[in-house]
Amino acid sequence: MTDVALRPALADAVERLAAAGVESARWDAEQLVAHVLGVARTSLPVVPNLDAAQYDALQALVARRASREPLQHIVGSVGFRYIELAVGPGVFVPRPETESVAGRAVEEARRAGTPKPVVVDLCSGSGAIALAVAHEVPNAEVHAVEIDPDALEWLRRNASARRRAGDSTVTLHHADVSHAVPELDGTVDVVVSNPPYVAEHEMAHVEPEVADHDPRLALVAGRDGLDVIAEVERTAKRLLRNGGVVVVEHSDRQGESVPALFDSAGGWAGVQDHPDLAGRPRYTVATKMVL
């Protein structure tokens, strides 16, 4: 087989993905072509052809994506703020909306007013938030807590890669949120978390990429989706020093229930909800009351 012109091959991939119900068909097709060619997506306009092997590889990847395997599993990584993370089966794929949550944790760590702020990321998954904080606040002491051994393997791999890239070390803890890192009680400046927050009944409505590929433990948190957030609230109160700050992500339907959970638990000042970049309710911030 001879070379194949890139434009029609790309158009065909877009059509196949759109027909399979992939919402971002053009973006995903371009990412797959770029992955096969080993170039950045922005370089595609200057590439005229695919050779036969590249064309065959593209067909195989398009078939996987059309079966609704997540794009990030196929290419093996995802960009998160200023870093790249390895992802695949067994770990939750970090989402763009969590970048705002991590950004707020970075800001809070920088204004903690201590030379070595202590930051704990509860429910760390691939390590997205913990590793972003370690990258952007190089003087921070960062801890990442994760219960799932499979996710922890990805976290370990990402943490090693970031250490090799020169970021400061993130300490990993295989633990349940509810009894995580007691040795840090009362000493932490920032607790941040993107915990599971999908209600059991909502699972019927999630996309196949999520339902079939993100671990259930990363998604579901009881009947109202608040079970793990309630544990994060209790653990944050135990870990934080007086005046320390918690930043916790929630679904866009929990912009009132999560602040209410903090208010009714008590011990928190300035409980406030914040939107993500798309303007949807996304995370609650609260300060541990100075006693």
Q: Which residues bind ligand SAM (CB under 6 A)?
A: 92, 94, 98, 123-126, 128-129, 145-148, 151, 176-177, 194-196, 217-218, 228
Token couple for 187: 């000493």
Q: How far is the CB of 111 from ligand SAM (least distance, A)?
A: 22
Q: How far is the CB of 91 from ligand SAM (least distance, A)?
A: 7
Distance CA(126)–CA(131), nearest Å, equals 9
Q: How far is the CB of 21 from ligand SAM (least distance, A)?
A: 23
* DSSP-H helix ranges across 111-256: 128-136, 149-164, 208-211, 227-239
Distance CA(238)–CA(288), nearest Å, equals 10
Q: How far is the CB of 136 from ligand SAM (least distance, A)?
A: 15
Q: How far is the CB of 272 from ligand SAM (least distance, A)?
A: 21
Count Cβ atoms below 10 Å from residue 98 Cβ, excluding itself. 22
Distance CA(277)–CA(227), nearest Å, equals 26
What residue type is 148 in one-letter code?
D
Q: Which is nearer to ligand SAM, 125 or 255 (CB)?
A: 125
Taking each helix axis as running N to C, give the angle between helix 128-136 and helix 149-164, from 0 to 180 degrees, rounded to the nearest 10: 20
Q: Which is nearer to ligand SAM, 17 or 144 (CB)?
A: 144
Q: Which is nearer to ligand SAM, 196 or 244 (CB)?
A: 196
Q: Which is nearer to ligand SAM, 55 or 283 (CB)?
A: 283
Question: Residue length, the chain?
Answer: 291
Q: Which is nearer to ligand SAM, 4 or 217 (CB)?
A: 217
Q: Give residues with Cβ within 8 angstroms of 5, minimum separation 6.
A: 48, 49
Q: Which is nearer to ligand SAM, 9 or 285 (CB)?
A: 285
Rounded alpha-carbon distances, angstroms, from residue 130 to 87, 112, 142, 169, 182: 15, 16, 6, 10, 18
Q: How far is the CB of 164 from ligand SAM (least distance, A)?
A: 21
